Amino acid sequence: MSWSAALSLALRALWRNKTRAMLTALGVIIGVASVIAMVAIGAGAKQRIAEQLESMGTNSLVIRSGTVTHGGVRTGAGTTTTLTLDDAEAIADLPDVVEVAPSVQTSAQVRHRGANWGTAIQGVTPGYFRVRSWPLSEGELIDPAQVAGAARVCVLGQTVVRELFGLVDPLGETLVIKGMPCRVIGVLTEKGATAWGSDQDDAIFAPITTVQRQLEGITHIDRIELTTTGREGSFRATKEITRLLRQRHRLTEGMDDDFRIYNRAELAQTSEESARVFSWLLGSIASVSLLVGGIGIMNIMLVSVTERTREIGIRMALGARPRDILWQFLLEALVLSAVGGLLGIALGLAGAGVVARFSQLPVDVTPVSVLIAFLFAGLIGVFFGLHPARKAARLRPIDALRYE
Amino acid sequence: MAAALIDIGDLRKVYSLDGVEIQALRGIDMRVDEGELVAIMGPSGSGKSTLMNILGCLDVADSGSYRLRDQDVTHMRPDQLARVRNREIGFVFQGFNLLPRTSALENVETPLIYAGLGRHERQERATAALGRLGLSDRLHHLPSQLSGGQQQRVAIARALVTRPSLLLADEPTGNLDTATSAEILTVLEDLNREDGLTVLMITHDPEVAQRAQRTLHLRDGRLEGPS
């Protein structure tokens, strides 16, 4: 029996039971559609997470002064005083490092005329605002000369402006920080809260030297934020910085690092891993519905074989070999799953589009997921079609002909 | 003397029905030559249908030999038997056994599909076969739209279309009225006389058996009288 003849027999048999065929295919349609939509939503979520991480900067590192052990007492992060501005300059020369921003932090009660406000004081260099990609709203930023001269100037975050000045223009006004007068030269744009909920706009920025010498009386720095050439660069830079700082701080082998390096790219990896797990989870749940669709095909094919036992007998009497009967029923199952697969793809694409439109979640339909869902549907057709088809092919002609 | 088309020796078949063994055939020897029109008669339970099924390669005997047109079909596998049914045998059943909801033309085309013929040749030969039986204007009718006599003609056309060497008719007039029965018997006679087609009819009707050149009587799984 030729392929075209077998296919035409299968199509005709399905056409005679249109409603039943459509309902059977519906199981596969829903299965394939949900696989495609779920995978698309999962991929979209993954992409959204990747974008957010990228906007946070996966190419940035933070170095903090670390712990030190004094006779068995470990003092905790940020307690050593070995990180210096010279370290920052040495790090800036490393090949994978683009920009460094050393800083010191303190907090103080700040006064302006009658108002006062407790806020964070950040001692920074001009590089800080570039590393944080934080644009100015008005006025000007701290320049290198002001850092060199430990000038008594500052740039304000929006929260500080609101709390201390209200509607008054802060530019040119003088604040008092721990008794030190300080002229406001610029105001930053609003940055909002961090992912951890702290208000980034609630801070005053002054030259790092000013904070070190005039407010704190220290020579070390608390942290260095820096950008690297990229995600790979940040992993390389982590190693280079570790080696450089251990050398500069004269740490011999066996001694702990006196600094900590926090790599955003590591965080990104963790988040992407959870997004991947999420995608797989959605895909697996959808696959179950495809499986149920396959069982529907098997069910209907078994009913069909029983109903058409006499027809099978007649065909055998007319010369159909067992394999001809096998192919006829297997092809019917395959056509059901293939048609279901194609309609399912269409429905899945439409469904993903609707989700994208109403939830504002990104969805990402990949050709690979469409192909896999379709092949999976075909595989299900073969798998669940084979048993009924074999049952039909194994009938003895005489039993099939006599069947009432 | 004409060549033997069917040659069976000591054919035996035992059925087990609910644990009770029924000896359907107890050693049949029989020979049918090419071009004969033979009737097999016998009361129900005599083993007629069993013999017919084995002759039609729908069933196999427990022991004995069966040669059909010089092929030993006794030990053939199911797919080889299917090929023999397709090429050598045409069936006409009491209940017509047309494929339901399938047009007359498609019914007649069916054996040619399994013979591996192309669509064009299938349609040509099926149309010719139906024309020969006077059904040229019924090609696209469904079995349910045809009378009993017409349905049996479609079945005969389907049996002929592969140009078989043997036509097996199992009570071909059993479901038909007298006039239509006579008509169908005439068709079978014509095929035998004009085309030299060997026809083997199973019947319990003596009038039908009279139309045959030779009648074999089957009783309790054995042939009576001369074979």
ipTM reported for the complex, 2 dp = 0.94
Tell me whether residues A319 and B119 touch, CB distance under 8 A.
no
Structure tokens at A160: 């500080």
pLDDT at B99: 93
Residue A54 has pLDDT above 60, yes or no: yes
- Mean pLDDT across chain A: 87
* Same domain assignment for residues A118 and A89: yes
Q: Read off the pLDDT band of A363 (50, 70, 90).
A: confident
* Same domain assignment for residues A222 and A359: no
What are B11-14's contacts with CB under 8 Å, separation 24+? B11/B51, B11/B54, B11/B61, B11/B63, B11/B64, B11/B65, B11/B66, B12/B61, B12/B62, B12/B63, B12/B64, B13/B47, B13/B50, B13/B54, B13/B59, B13/B61, B13/B62, B13/B221, B14/B62
Q: How many domains does chain A have?
A: 2
pLDDT at A250: 86
- Interface size A-B, in CB pairs within 8 Å, comes to 67
pLDDT at A101: 93
Residues of B in contact with A5 (CB under 8 A): 113, 119
Question: Is the pLDDT higher at A193 or at A175?
Answer: A175
Q: Please indicate, yes or no, if residue A263 is contained in any of the structural domains.
A: no
Which among A2, A322, A397 is the nearest to B58, CB-wise? A397
Global pTM reads 0.71
Q: Please indicate, yes or no, if residue A58 is contained in any of the structural domains.
A: no
Q: Is A99 exposed, middle or buried (0-12, 13-18, 19+ CB in 10 A)?
A: middle
Region A231-259 average pLDDT: 87
Tell me whether residues A320 and B114 touch, CB distance under 8 A.
yes
A373-387 confidence digits (pLDDT tens):
888 888 988 999 999
Question: Is the pLDDT higher at A192 or at A70?
Answer: A192
Tell me whether residues B110 and A318 touch, CB distance under 8 A.
yes
Residues of A in contact with B158 (CB under 8 A): 318
* Same domain assignment for residues A39 and A100: no
Distance CA B75, CA B53 (A): 15
Tell me whether residues B58 and A401 touch, CB distance under 8 A.
yes
Q: Which helix (H) or strand (E) holds A264?
A: helix A264-307
Q: Read off the pLDDT band of A56 (50, 70, 90).
A: low
* Same domain assignment for residues A276 and A236: no
Ramachandran assignment for A371, one of left (phi > 0), alpha (psi -120 to 50 degrees), beta (any other): alpha
Question: Is the pLDDT higher at B147 or at B175?
Answer: B147
Tell me whether residues A311 and B162 touch, CB distance under 8 A.
no
Identify the closest residue of chain B to A320 by CA–CA distance.
Answer: B114
* Same domain assignment for residues A309 and A214: no
Residues of B in contact with A316 (CB under 8 A): 58, 82, 85
Tell me whether residues A4 and B113 touch, CB distance under 8 A.
no
Q: Read off the pLDDT band of A404 (50, 70, 90).
A: confident
Residue B219 has pLDDT above 70, yes or no: yes
Q: How far is CA B20 from the centre of its chain?
A: 29
Distance from CA of A294 to the nearest CA of B (A): 28
Three-state helix/strand/coil letters over chain B: CCCEEEEEEEEEEEEEECCEEEEEEEEEEEEEECCCEEEEECCCCCCHHHHHHHHCCCCCCCEEEEEECCEECCCCCHHHHHHHHHHHEEEECCCCCCCCCCCHHHHHHHHHHHCCCCHHHHHHHHHHHHHHCCCHHHCCCCHHHCCHHHHHHHHHHHHHCCCCCEEEEECCCCCCCHHHHHHHHHHHHHHHHHHCCEEEEEECCHHHHHCCCEEEEEECCEEECCC
Q: Please indicate, yes or no, if residue A12 is contained in any of the structural domains.
A: yes
pLDDT at A73: 65
Residues of B in contact with A317 (CB under 8 A): 56, 58, 85, 91, 97
Tell me whether residues B79 and A321 touch, CB distance under 8 A.
yes
Q: Read off the pLDDT band of A70 (50, 70, 90).
A: low
Q: Which of A233-237, B29-33, B211-215 has the lowest mean pLDDT?
A: A233-237
Q: Is A144 exposed, middle or buried (0-12, 13-18, 19+ CB in 10 A)?
A: exposed
* Same domain assignment for residues A36 and A100: no
pLDDT at A37: 87
For the CA atoms of chain B, what is the radius of gyration?
Answer: 17
Residues of A in contact with B111 (CB under 8 A): 318-319
pLDDT at A147: 92
Residue A72 has pLDDT above 70, yes or no: no
Give B4-99+165-224's CATH code, choosing from 1.10.260.30, 3.40.50.300, 2.60.40.1260, 3.40.50.11260.
3.40.50.300
Tell me whether residues B99 and A1 touch, CB distance under 8 A.
no
Structure tokens at B211: 């139309």
Which residue, among B91, B97, B144, would best test binding to A if mutated, counting the most A CBs under 10 Å from its CB?
B97
Region A302-330 average pLDDT: 94
Residue B223 has pLDDT above 70, yes or no: yes
Which among A4, A311, A401 is the nearest to B99, CB-wise? A311
Residue B32 forms beta bridges with which residues? B6
Question: Which among A100, A202, A113, A214 has a CA at the least distance from the CA of A156?
Answer: A202
Q: Please indicate, yes or no, if residue A39 is contained in any of the structural domains.
A: yes
Q: Please indicate, yes or no, if residue A298 is contained in any of the structural domains.
A: yes
Question: Is the pLDDT higher at A279 or at A95?
Answer: A95
* Same domain assignment for residues A88 and A229: yes
Domain ranges of chain B: 4-99+165-224
Q: Read off the pLDDT band of B217 (50, 70, 90).
A: very high
Region B188-213 average pLDDT: 90
A394, A309 Cβ separation under 8 angstroms: no
Residue B2 has pLDDT above 80, yes or no: no
Tell me whether residues A318 and B87 touch, CB distance under 8 A.
no
Task: Write down which residue in A257, A291, A322 finishes a domain.
Answer: A257
Tell me whether residues B85 and A16 touch, CB distance under 8 A.
no
Tell me whether residues A321 and B53 touch, CB distance under 8 A.
no
Q: Please indicate, yes or no, if residue A264 is contained in any of the structural domains.
A: no
Region A354-365 average pLDDT: 82
- Mean pLDDT across chain B: 91
Q: Measured between alpha carbons, how far is residue A316 from residues A10, A26, A106, B91 in Å?
A: 16, 32, 92, 11
Residue A93 has pLDDT above 80, yes or no: yes
Region A103-127 average pLDDT: 91
B82, A319 Cβ separation under 8 angstroms: yes
Residue A11 has pLDDT above 80, yes or no: yes
Residues of A in contact with B110 (CB under 8 A): 315, 318
Residues of A in contact with B120 (CB under 8 A): none
Distance CA A398, CA A396 (A): 5
Residue B227 has pLDDT above 60, yes or no: no
Distance CA A235, CA A271 (A): 17
Question: Which among B11, B17, B84 has a CA at the least distance from the CA of B50?
Answer: B11
Tell me whether residues A5 and B119 touch, CB distance under 8 A.
yes
Ramachandran assignment for A178, one of left (phi > 0), alpha (psi -120 to 50 degrees), beta (any other): left
Distance CA B79, CA A99 (A): 80
Tell me whether residues B86 and A401 touch, CB distance under 8 A.
no
Residue A68 has pLDDT above 80, yes or no: no
Q: Please indicate, yes or no, if residue A367 is contained in any of the structural domains.
A: yes
Identify the closest residue of chain A to B99 by CA–CA distance.
Answer: A311
* Same domain assignment for residues A202 and A311: no
pLDDT at B124: 96
Which residue, among B86, B96, B144, would best test binding to A if mutated, counting the most A CBs under 10 Å from its CB?
B86
Q: Read off the pLDDT band of A258 (50, 70, 90).
A: confident
Residue partners of A372: CB distance under 8 A and separation at least 6: none
Region A233-260 average pLDDT: 87
pLDDT at A21: 92
Region A231-235 average pLDDT: 83
Tell me whether residues A16 and B118 touch, CB distance under 8 A.
no
Distance from CA of A2 to the nearest CA of B (A): 6
Tell me whether residues B162 and A5 touch, CB distance under 8 A.
no
Q: Which of A84-98, A118-132, A350-364, A372-386 has the lowest mean pLDDT?
A: A350-364
List residues of chain A with CB under 8 Å from any CB of chain B: 1-2, 4-5, 9, 16, 310-311, 313-324, 396-398, 401
Region B196-203 average pLDDT: 93
Structure tokens at A386: 């084979």
* Same domain assignment for residues A304 and A338: yes
**Whole domain around residue A390: which residue ranges?**
3-53+270-402
Q: Please indicate, yes or no, if residue A185 is contained in any of the structural domains.
A: yes
